[in-house]
Amino acid sequence: MHACTESAELGLYTRPVYNLSREDSTNPLILVCEHASRYIPEALNNLGLDEAAAREHIAWDIGALQLAEQLSEQLGATLLSANYSRLLIDLNRPRHAPDSIPLQSEIYPIPGNRELDEATREYRRQTLFKPFHARLQMLIDERIAKGLPVRVVGIHSFTPVYYGQPRPLEVGVLFGQAQDYAQRLLDGLQAQPLKVAGNQPYKIDPLGDMTVPVHGDARGLEAVLIEVRNDLLRSPEAVSRWAGYLAPLL
């Protein structure tokens, strides 16, 4: 018997692991929203967090899914988005990264992730992580097999305050090897009245990131992450404004 079948969480993850929109699009762009959802199965009691904390940015990227959906609609581009909280397992971390299943997120301890046995950790990897990345790999493989170009863009958001420090940045473009593509995006965003920077508020790290290094850089494809400050994505009008900034550039 495989160790993961002995997990105490066996059978909890009954909703689909991901949503896939516009699968058959011929637009080169594949949008990815790894932190789209804050959903945690009810039996896990928010992993020990109170309801307010479970709604915070630690559980998901607030506004990122709405932005990704608008971009997908405007561009007719494929969108792959997650259906579970990153607190269960982070889809933008390598499976064996220390914070793949976080014990703490900024100021919040995550009680339900402490003292997990290896069977449960592996069950989350097999049930939540593996299918998401297998589907993204398949989308890319199918396009390459048809001779179609491919670009991979992750849509994320970040907090206006981090460990008590305000973040004046409004949007960042994170990249590894896709410097030319990232610079085109940065140049376009800098033409707007926005506070913009490359590789901020985070940097792509092959040991700590998944989407760009694995699905983009390792395959020689253009790949970036877009990070928008989440207080700028709190209304439909604000999301539409950001979609208007980004859609012509992507």
Q: Which of 216, 224, 102 is nearest to 149 (CA)?
A: 216
| Domains defined along the chain, listed by start | 3-246 (3.40.630.40)
Whether residue 239 contacts residue 70, with contact meaning beta carbons closer than 8 Å, is answered with: yes
Question: pTM for the full model?
Answer: 0.95
Residue-by-residue pLDDT tens, the chain, 250 positions = 345 667 789 999 999 999 999 999 999 999 999 999 999 999 999 999 999 999 999 999 999 999 999 999 999 999 999 999 999 999 999 999 999 999 988 778 999 999 899 999 999 999 999 999 999 999 999 999 999 999 999 999 999 998 888 999 999 999 999 999 999 999 999 999 999 999 999 999 999 999 999 999 999 999 999 999 999 999 999 999 999 999 999 9
Q: Which two tokens stand for residue 248?
A: 């012509």
Are the CB atoms for 72 and 21 separated by under 8 Å? yes
pLDDT at 162: 86
pLDDT of residue 1: 38
> How large is the C-alpha radius of gyration of the chain?
18
